[in-house]
Amino acid sequence: MELIKDLPEIYEEFAEQRKKSFLGIKSLKEKGVPIVGVFCTYFPQEIPAAMGAAVVGLCSTSDETIPDAEKDLPRNLCPLIKSSYGFAKTDKCPFFYFSDLVVGETTCDGKKKMYEYLANFKPVHVMELPNRQSEDGCTMYKNEIIRFKKVLEEKFKVIITEDQIRAAIKERNREREALKRLYKLMKKDPAPMLGDDLYKVLYGATFKFDKKQSALEIYAICDKIEKEYEEGNHLEKRPRIMITGSPVSGGASKVIKAIEDNGGVVVVFENCGGAKSVEELVDEQNPDVYEALAKRYLNIGCSCMSPNPSRYKLMGQLIEEFRPDAVVDVVLQACHTYNVETIGIKRFVTETYHLPYMSLETDYSVSDIGQLNTRMAAFLEML
């Protein structure tokens, strides 16, 4: 695929993709395509994809709807949870509006309790996610995936076959491979692009409903970046940063900006939205498609798992691959699980890898941007 546009224009188009897909989802709805709204990386996308449904990430990353949410929910709750609820309550998320079914998982306490109230606005199905990545946990999640498949079959009066699931697994794996090729380009030093631009593509791609086409586009972008890199078009040398912790989309993307406005470059996102959501493929050789899905999804290293070895494993792998100069651990305010995990992550980063580490707590507001910039400038200065 030939890309005629320049890279900055392509990045901006991906940044606009969420808004552009408002119309896309409307037209899918008019054609009778079932719409499934989701919030979390643990959601096994292949099951609804197998029946031809569109899967869409629901709005949850802006502080615009938080005052409305705080009328019902406690103020000292994670902004992601308040924002999600606020969008549903105020009907300001077009994806929520068009969703036939909203699916949540029993991840952190705040989220799973919030889903109880979300059911006042939409049909909600909650998947029971175990908190341990044990063999029993895997069997339990496999059964949950089968239960979810039955819920879809009953609700939409369809039969979902294993062959359809297998095809969906292949399609999503091809998309994952394309996204991996893109973010692995950041192993180059100096980096080929800003982390902010990389994130625009990673985030925008989740709002492309034609996954085959999306994978082709991403491969074409990779080719273009590589060609430009060979011609000497890349960033100057900058301190290389890994971001880990809570998701940094929307309001929390100010952290990426603070790093890059102060001279650093985010070369790898370990958190959801980055490698945590994409890195591991579903095993296409496993004859048991449900087990293959359960294993892949349950292996995600979110702090709601206890213990959480997958996070350390992925971080170690990414540190070795991307050679960051430091790690920034982002905690969304009142996220107890990521907050408690900071001490373990700090020890891991500083004692095992001897890298500088910073944890910071933030929300979706603009109130701490000045403070973030000051802290980041001082942190980058010492690298």
Which residues sit at the interface with ligand BJ8, rule CB under 6 A?
40-42, 78, 80-81, 107-108, 110-111, 246-247, 272, 300, 302, 304, 332, 335, 337-338
* Rounded distance between C-alpha atoms, residue 81 and residue 225, angstroms: 36
Cα atoms in the Cβ-side hemisphere of radius 13 Å centred on 162: 10
Min separation Cβ 89 and ligand BJ8, Å: 17
Looking at the Cβ atoms of 42 and 379, the one nearer to ligand BJ8 is 42
Looking at the Cβ atoms of 111 and 149, the one nearer to ligand BJ8 is 111
Looking at the Cβ atoms of 322 and 338, the one nearer to ligand BJ8 is 338
Range 350-375 burial, b when 16+ CB lie within 10 A, else e = eeeeebbbbbbbbbbeeebeeebbeb
Looking at the Cβ atoms of 42 and 115, the one nearer to ligand BJ8 is 42
Min separation Cβ 361 and ligand BJ8, Å: 11
Looking at the Cβ atoms of 193 and 282, the one nearer to ligand BJ8 is 282
Min separation Cβ 375 and ligand BJ8, Å: 20
Looking at the Cβ atoms of 80 and 182, the one nearer to ligand BJ8 is 80
* Rounded distance between C-alpha atoms, residue 147 and residue 273, angstroms: 26
Min separation Cβ 80 and ligand BJ8, Å: 4
Pairing status of strand 240-245 against strand 265-269: parallel
Min separation Cβ 107 and ligand BJ8, Å: 4
Min separation Cβ 119 and ligand BJ8, Å: 18
Looking at the Cβ atoms of 104 and 239, the one nearer to ligand BJ8 is 104
Min separation Cβ 295 and ligand BJ8, Å: 16
Min separation Cβ 359 and ligand BJ8, Å: 14
Looking at the Cβ atoms of 36 and 302, the one nearer to ligand BJ8 is 302
